Amino acid sequence: MWGWAVLLLAAAAWAQPEAMVVERLPFSLAGNWWFRPGHDPAWSSPFREKTYWQSVNVPGPWEKRGFPGYNGHAWYRINFRLPSELASENLGVDLGSIGDVDEVFLNGQRIGSTGSFPPAYAPGTLERRVYRLPRSALRFGEFNELSIHVYNEGRFGGLLGPAPRLDRYERLLRQQQGRDLVLWVSSTVLSVLGLFHVFLRVASGRGREQWSWVGFLLVLACYQLTYASFGPSLLLSSAGNFRLNVACLLLAVGLFPLVVAALADQPPPTWVILAVSTLGVGAGFALVWRRTLDLYLWVYLAEVGIAAFIIFALGKNIGGLRRSEPGAIALLGNGLVFFGAALADTAVDLALLPRPPLSGVTLYSSFGVLPFAVATSYVLASRWARHHAASLLPPLGLLPFGSFIDEVRKRMANPASSPFAVALMRLATAAGTPVEVEAVIGHVRRHVRHCDILARYSRETFALLLEAVDEREALAQVERLRRALRQVPGAYLLRPTAGLAAFRPFRYGTAEELLKAAEAALYAARSEGGDSTATAP
């Protein structure tokens, strides 16, 4: 037993921190620091004896450095020698992220703090610690001591990362501004895309999938800004900014599966609805609950939700890829980038990965979300255009009937394709005089969807392929088109007659059979006096 004790003491002595010698800037302070749990205000005085201090490696939470489960006060210390050549420089230190509250001393002089210690506890974990080193406290050509008093109440405590470093203060500020710029640019792009989809929703009056996507984009934009030094943290206290961060995280995670379900054009499963409802309750809880420490439970639930919803999204996206849905490949590729970035941020938050060492990066997802947001917005906007934007487009003419038949064959050959229908509409006046299709094609175009296909069938008859509709929906659309054409101004006094045939795999084996059924329905409508729509049996 005594032998093990001697070995442990020898190992501790071998790992004792050594004073660092600054040779050039920037200079990393990563390595072994003196560490001591507890708190005594006298520990801020420099160059104290370190009999009861231990060595820990920095950066990294102290829970991962030999103090699992410890919450409360602790102190860090490091000695470094500054050369006289740097006496003219304006120096600063970037301590990275600290969990949760800190105050920093240089040679016994307090140089800054972030967050609030108990009893008015307010975590400052989201903020990057960049402090100026005052000339009055620095000793050039001699050794200096940096002391950091840290308080943590939950999750992870200590110098979380990236590695602390000394540098010119102006350069540290520029790097901080660069990180803020990345967050602001990412948040602005997300917000602009969100507002664009608000316009689409208002312009069409349809498309409920737009609202979940708009909410996801705007909430995620707000979430990213809570990490910016020039953001909500300027308007809110540290605790308020932390609450906003947790609420936005929960809402973004909760809205994401609704977006996935909307993209797949399917209702969300029951377990997704329950999970989304729970996260929504948690968001409200985060904004009003008094004890900040309890919010970490909701953060853990959000991180579990991220993993579960990513699996859900991949399953839906791969299903869309198998059905050859438009944009499925782009969504899958960009989704994988975003999912990887989101999982990386989660792993960083759980101390499974080191924090981003790059000077311009605060969150991996700030970069990963942009291609995914653009790809998803493109898919949703294209879907909106196919279904709702026909009235905004100029007349596009008529497809040759041979090409029309080919389009029908493609849909019949794909067993996973959406339901569709074919209609034939004859144009004639109240007196029965035929009217050429070209004379009113502009009016027809304004009242059909962009995804629907128009072709000439005869001089006064056009064919219409109605995408993604069953027989009931197709009949309603044809009737709306007929009523619109009856209101065409001019001397026509149109009384259109239509025949409709909805595709049924067990009934129609070829495109020609489907067209013959629509033609038979058109003749049936004409034999009954016209100015009506008949459907194939």
> Do 453 and 321 share a structural domain?
no
How much is the pLDDT for 86? 92
Q: In terms of domains, do 121 and 30 share one?
A: yes
End position of a domain, from candidates 344, 359, 388: 388
**Do residues 199 and 119 share a domain?**
no
Domain encompassing residue 500: 393-535
Report the pLDDT value the prediction gives residue 140, as an integer from 0 to 100.
94
Residues 275 and 307 in one domain: yes
pLDDT value for 204 = 58
91 φ/ψ angles, rounded to the nearest 5 degrees: -100, 155
Residues 362 and 430 in one domain: no
Among 364, 388, 412, the domain-final residue is: 388
Q: Is residue 173 part of a domain?
A: no
Q: What's the confidence (pLDDT) of residue 466? A: 92
Residues 428 and 310 in one domain: no
Q: Are 324 and 401 in a shared domain? A: no
Short-list 336, 341, 334, CA closest to 371:
334
Q: What is the reported pLDDT for 102?
A: 96
- CATH number of the domain encompassing residue 453: 3.30.70.270
Kindly state whether residues 400 and 494 are assigned to the same domain: yes
The C-alpha atoms of residue 274 and residue 346 are separated, in whole angstroms, by: 22
Residues 500 and 406 in one domain: yes
Task: Read off the CATH number of the domain in which 71 is found.
Answer: 2.60.120.260
Residue 530 lies inside a defined structural domain of this protein = yes
Q: Is residue 6 part of a domain?
A: no
**Alpha-carbon distance 536 to 518, whole Å?**
6
**Dihedral angle of Cα 386, 391, 393, 397, to the nearest 10 degrees:** 90
Q: Are 316 and 260 in contact (CB under 8 A)?
A: yes
State residue 9's pLDDT score.
39
Q: Write out the two tokens for 249.
A: 């995280």
Which residue ranges in the chain fall short of pLDDT 50? 1-14, 321-323, 389-396
Domain membership of residue 287 (yes or no) is: yes
- pLDDT given for residue 265 in this prediction: 72
pLDDT digits (tens, 9 = 90+) for 62-109: 999 999 999 999 999 999 999 999 999 999 999 999 989 999 999 999
> Using CA atoms, how far apart are residues 425 and 437, in angstroms rounded to an integer?
10
The CA–CA distances, whole Å, from 167 to 100, 225, 297, 354 equal: 24, 26, 37, 21
Same domain, 326 and 200: yes
304 shares a domain with 226: yes
At 262, which CATH number? 1.20.1070
Same domain, yes or no, for 431 and 381? no
Quote the pLDDT of residue 395.
42
Of the candidates 462, 326, 444, 439, which has an alpha carbon nearest to the alpha carbon of residue 385? Answer: 326
Reported as a single tens digit per residue, the pLDDT across 4-33 is 443 433 444 446 788 899 989 999 999 999
Where among 388, 411, 427 does a domain terminate?
388
**Do 347 and 310 form a contact (C-beta atoms < 8 A)?**
no
For residue 369, tell me if it sits in a domain.
yes
The DSSP secondary-structure symbol of 140 reads B
In this structure, the strands spanning 497-502 and 453-456 are unpaired
